[in-house]
Chains A and B, each alone.
Chain A
Amino acid sequence: MSSVALAQAPLPPAEAAAGSTPSPQDIDRAELRALREELARQKAVSEIQAASLAALQAEADSKSSVEAQTAAELAQTEERLRLYGFLDFGLQKSWFPTSSGLNTVIESTSSTFVLGNLNLYLDARPTERWRALTEIRFTAYPHGEFTEAQPGRAFQRTNNQVFDVNSASGGFAQTRWGAIIIERAQIEYSGADWLRVRAGYWFTPYGIWNVDHGTPTLISLSVPQFVVSEAFPARQLGVDVNGTLNAGAWQVEYHAYVSNGRTPGQLDLTEDKMLGGRLALSRTTPLSMTLGASGFYGGYSDKQARTVSFSPLKFTHDEVAAYKELGVSGDFSLDAQRLRFRTEVALNRRVYDKGKHEVGWYPGAFFPSRIFWGTYALLAYDTGFAGLEPYLYAELDRNMYPVSQGILTPSVGLNIHFTESAQLKLQYSYAKQFDFDDLGRDLSQQYLSFLATRLVVAF
């Protein structure tokens, strides 16, 4: 534009030189006039350039302002609804003897592809302080579910194959209907950093594994036994007050909750609610670490309604199982450069009311009051090469298993991070069952070798 302006700048008409020989004064005057004309021309050009520059600046400012205003408005409203989640698929194979107790729960040692998790998050934020977070896992269950091969019990398999009467094929098509698992459904209110409330169905805030819970986030694939046997309830229905406080480089996180605790059905059948909490200290410098402790206390009760008489009409609610339980856990995580270390321990002390023990593993048997616990340690190293992250894992658990008191599980694994959201996870585990006490049982055949792989994508 400036070159155009230059070309269009008004130029004074040139004057012809006088016919007679000019005097020195005439020459000076002519030069002066020429200089003045040149100055005027330059001034005009400069003004045009300044005007062009101002116009361009105004245009840029206007565009930037609009973008800034848009960003500010978007930030204030945030996204009202976000969808995200993860999906994993894999191949797995197990090896165990034909005399292993695992034959009752594992159908085959054949290799098989598996659809692991398809979890979808619905994250709604109707206003800036309120949030409704739902995590749904879609599954093909209960198709294929089978009864444990217990002595004297007939084998049965669930078949969810149905005629797809809505199909355009005329009703001859068949399909397998599946189910959903509500992983969590919680309403959150954020009043301040130190005061947040979540109400609904949430993951119990304890340890590492239960909170991480998703294959993209977990380092290992294998689920710790104390998580499987729920030394702490995996999820609870209730109200959790939580928050964070900053104390210098340390951040203190707390949880205090009241819930139904474990229930046989959808509702709590007693007034004694489960109380629990968590306290965690974390920092990110010079090393990223978290040290946490969690605990809970609660009761369980199962009741059966029974009609005693019709006239007069009378009912009773007989309590058929009841216990009190106490859980404590500790966890520690450390990130040091390329190294990741995780460990946690969880313990449950369960005391049954007299005559109200739950039915045990075998017909006619009942679970005793007991303490069960588990612990694991995991060490992973990011090689920085091709996304390779090998890890070592070891786990020790004590519980009342069908054929043993304990399980020791050394394991090795490898995660291959293709991108930040796509990875291949592999883990080989060897689980050996044993007794802590000398019970004289031959457990030499009670072991499991297990290879699990998962291709995981977070979206």
Chain B
Amino acid sequence: MAQQHGYPRRRFIQLGVSILTVGASAPALAGSGDLAVIVHANNHASLLPSEIEAIFRATKRHWANGDPIVPFNLVPQTAERTLFDQTVLGLSPAAVARYWIDRKIRGGAPPPRAVPNAGIALRVVASLATSIAYVPPDLLTSDVRAVALIRNGALASARARSAPWEDV
């Protein structure tokens, strides 16, 4: 951890603000550059932004019930992946690559598996109860549940207040 590259530029919006900010339906949430962090529809976990970051840094590897978390990234160099890494991890594409090299050398856990596009990420999460990924909000279906939203370069999670998010 200590000698990694990391240039945090994130802005966290507090939960209350985020709940007021986001809309109540998927079309209202959808916009270019928006991403929804999704889990399986039967996964009722709620996550803080810091926990989502820890999952995709592979420092948090288990759900509350002890099941291993299976995170999915989109492949590098895609707009969605770059946005996610910048917003959630606070790392540029080069810094992300270096982060995972550092993790390997230190003996840490491997990076999340990458899938080619958001459509596949959606289907994977819909079929794998312990998985988590991110997709544009307009792709959401009833098979998955959004636990956080990336909008305007900030990550807001719905922890403790799920009502607006259940419509997503």
Q: Could you tell me which A residues sit within 8 Å of B by CB distance? A: 64-65, 67-69, 71-72, 74-76, 78-79, 82, 84, 86, 121, 123, 128-129, 133, 135, 184, 186, 190-193, 203, 208, 211-214, 216-219, 244, 246, 248-249, 251, 280, 282-288, 290, 331, 333, 335, 337-338, 340, 342, 382, 417, 420-421, 458
- Interchain CB contact under 8 A, A286 and B54: no
Beyond A191-B66, A246-B60, A251-B50, 9 additional contacts (C-beta under 8 Å) are: A71-B120, A75-B72, A135-B107, A208-B2, A214-B105, A246-B50, A284-B90, A288-B90, A335-B7
Q: List 6 A-B contacts (CB under 8 A).
A: A64-B120, A121-B104, A192-B62, A217-B3, A219-B3, A244-B54
Chain A nearest CB, measured from B13 CB (Å): 12
The verdict on A217 contacting B10 (CB below 8 Å), with A208-B2, A333-B3 known, is no
Q: Which residues of A contact B62 (CB under 8 A)?
A: 190, 192-193
Residues of chain B with a CB closer than 8 A to A186's CB: 107
Contacting A335 at CB < 8 Å: which of B6, B12, B126? B6
- Give the B interface residue count (CB, 8 A): 48
Contact mask for chain B residues 105-132; partner A; CB cutoff 8 A; 1 contact, 0 none:
1110010010110011011101110010
- Looking at the assembled complex, report how far the CB atom of A243 sits from the nearest CB atom of chain B, in whole angstroms: 10
Tell me whether chain B's interface is mostly helix, strand or loop, or mixed: mixed
State which of B2, B7, B113, B126 has its C-beta within 8 Å of the C-beta of A290.
B2
Residues of B43-96 at the interface with A, using a CB-CB cut-off of 8 Å, are 48, 50-51, 53-54, 57, 59-62, 66, 68, 70, 72, 89-90, 94
Q: What is the CA–CA distance of A208 and B102 in the complex, to the nearest angstrom?
A: 12
Check A288–B3 contact: CB distance below 8 A.
Answer: no
Q: Are A244 and B72 in contact (CB under 8 A)?
A: no
CA distance A213 to B107 in the complex (A): 10
| Complex Cα gap A64–B110 (Å) | 25
The docked-state distance in angstroms from the alpha carbon of A219 to that of B115 is 32
Chain B hits for A248, CB < 8 A: 48, 50
Whether B2 pairs with A211 at a CB distance below 8 angstroms is: yes
> B4 contacts which chain A residues (CB < 8 A)?
217, 288, 335
Distance A208 CA – B8 CA, assembled complex (angstroms) = 20
Inside 8 A of A420's CB, which chain B residues have their CB? 94, 97-98, 101
Contact A284 B66 (CB under 8 A): no
The interface centre, meaning the residue of B72, B102, B116 with most chain A CB atoms within 10 A of its CB, is B102
Q: Please give, as numbers and ranges, the residues of chain B lying within 8 Å of A74 by CB-CB distance.
A: 113
